[in-house]
A and B are shown apart, each in its own frame.
Chain A
Amino acid sequence: MDRVRWIGQAVLFLSLLVAACAAPAAPGPRIQVQNAWARPGAMGMGQGHGMSHGGESTSAVYFVVVNEGDQPDALIGVISDVAERAELHETKMEGDVAKMQPVPRVEIPARGKVEFRPRGLHVMLIGLKRDLQVGDTFTITLRFERSGEIQVPVSVKEMTP
């Protein structure tokens, strides 16, 4: 009788194990952020110019957002300890003229990726609180609409295109 009960329990355990392995991943976005790097920048350059941060220094952060999930997501904000503000920006080339402007959100498609790179999408750090020198590292927090906040380590490089 004990033997029958033991076999029954083993079958039940194996069944549950197989069911757990076979179950599909939870629906939704699955976000990863890869290869984050930033440009060098000098803290507190210059003075204000009658504006809230008209004289503050800047840098840019680049990375790749990968979404392996079956639902889209959107990057809606950035926080960083090394700058007063961090904004999502995009540079567009029109002929040989570079035009940059803020963007409120960046859509991350399901099972897709979005590359933040020079002359394209980037995070603009405004009002650096410390110098960013080649070899330094710091952290930014990316805020996604569905995935919430993700902390990302960033290394400073003078990378060329």
Chain B
Amino acid sequence: MPRWFWFGVGVGLLFVAAAGAVKIAMDVRAESLPVYMTVPDWPFTDQDGRTFWLGQTRGKVMVLGMIYTHCPDVCPLITARMMEIQQQVAAEGLSDEVFFVTITFDPERDTPEVLRRYAQVRKIDFRNWVFLTGDPSTIRHLTEVLGIYTERVYVINGTPTRGTPSPSGASVTYLINHTDRIFLVDRQGRVRALLPGSRTEIREAIEKIRRLVRERSAP
């Protein structure tokens, strides 16, 4: 065979190999989830009163929800969705790879004891789930970083009102309007999926968690 023939075969093989590498890279890119933001490594207090740094979850995939325990309607649904995800994660043998974090955006009322009772009455499995409260300014900054909207609405004698009331024997409490969201965070602490909180589809959440678990290193 002439030399130019083997040269042509070599060039062809190189071309095929390069095309394959490009396709694999494109497939990986198509499969990888976007990066939205990084979860800050700030200190909080868990349901048992111990300090918990969010950075402690690095190395695991984190399912993160923000709630307030006095919310009777949407926040319990967020917690219920996370419970379902936790059960499915356990069923797939991934409990060591995935950690669940619930953080209150109402730290004035949600003390560690309140969070513990909120979780206990729901029979939460604490082996890979922590409930956090903390310094109000830290929590406010976290909501800003994560894009969680919160707005207090005071209710005086059953009537909602804007602004802060000055109680004078009236029946006063407050509700919190808030974003309904669950975050999926990768092993590097980066938010990779924004799930619709109480409306989260478990199948979709699990599929994305599997992808993040497979990512052993940064994409």
Residues of A within 8 A of B (CB): 39-42, 45-47, 49-60, 87, 89, 91, 93, 96-102, 104, 118-119, 122, 124-126, 131-134, 158-161
Is A96 a contact of B171 with CB atoms below 8 Å? no
Is B196 a contact of A54 with CB atoms below 8 Å? no
Choose one: A58, A96, A133; the contact of B180 (CB below 8 Å).
A96
Interface residues of B in 172-201 (CB under 8 A from A): 172-175, 177-181, 196-199
Report the separation of the CA atoms of residues A54 and B171 in the bound assembly, to the nearest whole angstrom. 9
Residues of B within 8 A of A (CB): 69-74, 76-77, 80-81, 83-84, 108-111, 113-114, 117-118, 120-123, 149, 153, 155, 158-160, 167, 170-175, 177-181, 196-199
Is B77 a contact of A96 with CB atoms below 8 Å? no
Known: A41-B121, A60-B72, A89-B73. A55 touches B180 (CB 8 A): no
Is B121 a contact of A55 with CB atoms below 8 Å? no
Is A49 a contact of B108 with CB atoms below 8 Å? yes
Which residues of chain B are near A39, meaning CB under 8 Å? 72, 76
Choose one: A46, A50, A98, A126; the contact of B178 (CB below 8 Å).
A98
Is A100 a contact of B70 with CB atoms below 8 Å? no
Choose one: B69, B122, B175; the contact of A45 (CB below 8 Å).
B69
Choose one: B77, B113, B172; the contact of A46 (CB below 8 Å).
B113
Besides the known contacts A53-B171, A131-B121, 5 further A-B residue pairs in the complex with CB atoms under 8 A apart: A39-B72, A42-B121, A98-B180, A101-B160, A124-B73
Give the interface SS of chain A, mostly helix, strand, loop or mixed. Answer: loop
Known: A45-B69, A126-B173. A96 touches B121 (CB 8 A): no
Known: A45-B118, A57-B69. A160 touches B84 (CB 8 A): yes
Choose one: A51, A125, A158, A160; the contact of B72 (CB below 8 Å).
A125
Is A118 a contact of B198 with CB atoms below 8 Å? yes
Report the separation of the CA atoms of residues A47 and B114 in the bound assembly, to the nearest whole angstrom. 9
Nearest-CB distance from A33 to chain B (Å)?
19
Known: A53-B173, A93-B180, A100-B175. A122 touches B73 (CB 8 A): yes
